[in-house]
Amino acid sequence: MIGAGVVGFSMAWHLQGLGHQVTLIAPELEQEQGELSGSQAALGLLMAQVYRRSSGRGWRLRQQSLALWQRWRQELEQRGHAIPARAGLLQLATTAEEVEAQERLCIQRQEQGFPLRLLSAAELAELRPTLPQPSLGGLVSPLDGQIDPGPALEAFRRDGLQRGLNLISSRVMGLQRGSGQGDQRWQLDLEGGATASAAWVVVCAGLSSPALLATVGHQRPQSPVLGQAAELQLHPDDHRALNWPGSLSWDGINLVPRPNGRLWLGATLEPDRSSPQRGGLDDAALQELLTLNGHAPAWLKRCELVRHWHGLRARPSGRPAPLLELLEPGLLLASGHYRNGVLLAPASAHWAGEQIAAAEPGAQL
């Protein structure tokens, strides 16, 4: 398994549970907490039942993931590795068209048996702290919600280690196919000249996946989309009054209530300018986020900025996210999860397990 983001760690854990012996390779594994990968930066929102489509691969992966997260969290908690999570999501409509779309989606979901419901204007007006304006309509999804990505990674790591997960703290520089008859294993060239080998390799290296695949002739380009996010401290009065039915989604911005009167706000969608060579982070984009593009309610203006951070999302070029592919015997790609890697990690892991089982029961990776 190459990559120790939420996709790699959750997949390793799931495959171990299926009885595979798994080695996970990533450069940051020697530290207790990894460097800021996409997964460490994520807000952890799980938007499955509010997804605008009702069929197709994206829909199926989201529903499967939401169910698996619930099951996995229970299993991990029983094994002593709780992952904090908060149920509920309120999607707000800022235009008349969005209100109509919400009404249609709500009817559709209720017909499918999902517990979504529209909030009336009076119900929206009762929410505290007050909603950003305009908020012309609101769709509540009680089973969508949010999980904390950092503790999730840590839970997979700790439980994985207890189950015998092998960690190698290194960077994979390239892949090589086994040379044929009697040597079907993949060879991985590691930084510093070391090598590793495995019958199956899963590439979960986020934005580095295309370069790794190119070493064996596969072209799967992805582009980086930067996201900035912030943690705010609410005024104690505003925190005490909070009665939102979960996290909020307003005009593409997510507001996630946190313990101890804190709030996560995010995330921007920007071209990657994070390195000094590219001009550095865009302060204007952060300010737009912090002021909700000039629509910040009074309580938001009273908040104290505790910290802000950024991360990169891997967006596939010319193909829908995520990239889940059996590229050739023994080589799987699970990458390009773009804005939904936390949500889609369990379904991606499940997919990998099925691929391996179909090809070769008893395989090791």
Ligand X SMILES: Cc1cc2nc3c(=O)[nH]c(=O)nc-3n(C[C@H](O)[C@H](O)[C@H](O)COP(=O)(O)OP(=O)(O)OC[C@H]3O[C@@H](n4cnc5c(N)ncnc54)[C@H](O)[C@@H]3O)c2cc1C
Task: By CB under 6 A, name the binding residues for ligand X.
Answer: 2-8, 25-28, 34, 37-39, 41-45, 171-172, 204-206, 208, 212, 227, 229, 266-267, 311-313, 335, 337-343
Paired sense of beta strands 331-335 and 201-203, if any: parallel
- Residue located via tokens 């593409």: 252
CA contacts within 13 A on the Cβ side of 241: 12
Virtual torsion, Cα 147, 151, 152, 153, nearest 10 deg: 140
Please report where in the chains the tokens 């993949």 appear, as a residue: 186
Q: How far is the CB of 183 from ligand X (least distance, A)?
A: 23
75: left (phi over 0), alpha (psi -120 to 50) or beta: alpha
CB closer to ligand X, 66 vs 106:
66
Distance CA 230, CA 88 (A): 21
Q: How far is the CB of 180 from ligand X (least distance, A)?
A: 26
Indicate the residue among 61 and 124 with the shorter CB distance to ligand X.
61
CB of 347 to ligand X, least distance (A): 11
CB of 172 or CB of 234, closer to ligand X? 172
* Beta strand ranges found along the chain (DSSP E): 23-26, 45-46, 85-93, 117-119, 137-147, 166-169, 172-176, 186-190, 195-198, 201-203, 222-233, 247-250, 253-258, 262-266, 270-271, 304-316, 323-328, 331-335
Instruction: Please report how close the Cβ of residue 207 comes to ligand X at its closest, in angstroms.
Output: 6
Minimum CB separation of residue 260 from ligand X in Å reads 20
d(CA 111, CA 132): 30
Q: CB 359 → ligand X: shortest distance, Å?
A: 22
Please say which residue, 25 or 356, places its beta carbon nearer to ligand X: 25
Rounded to the nearest whole angstrom, what is the least distance from the CB of residue 176 to ligand X in the complex? 14
Q: Which is nearer to ligand X, 118 or 274 (CB)?
A: 274
- Chain-centroid distance of CA 34 in Å reads 15
Of 118 and 146, which has the nearer Cβ to ligand X? 146
Given a contact cutoff of 8 angstroms between Cβ atoms, the answer to whether 89 and 144 are in contact is yes
**146 with 247: CB under 8 angstroms?**
yes
- Nearer to ligand X by Cβ, of 66 and 93: the residue is 66
Q: Considering beta carbons, is residue 347 or 356 the nearer one to ligand X? A: 347
Q: Is 118 or 315 the residue whose CB approaches ligand X more closely?
A: 315
Residue 100 beta carbon to ligand X: minimum distance, rounded to whole angstroms: 26
Residues ≥6 apart with Cβ < 8 Å to 214: none
Q: Measured in Å, how far apart are the chain's first and last C-alpha atoms?
A: 7
Core vs surface per residue 8-22: b (16+ CB within 10 A) or e: bbbbbbbbbbbebeb
Minimum separation from the CB atom of position 338 to ligand X (A) = 6
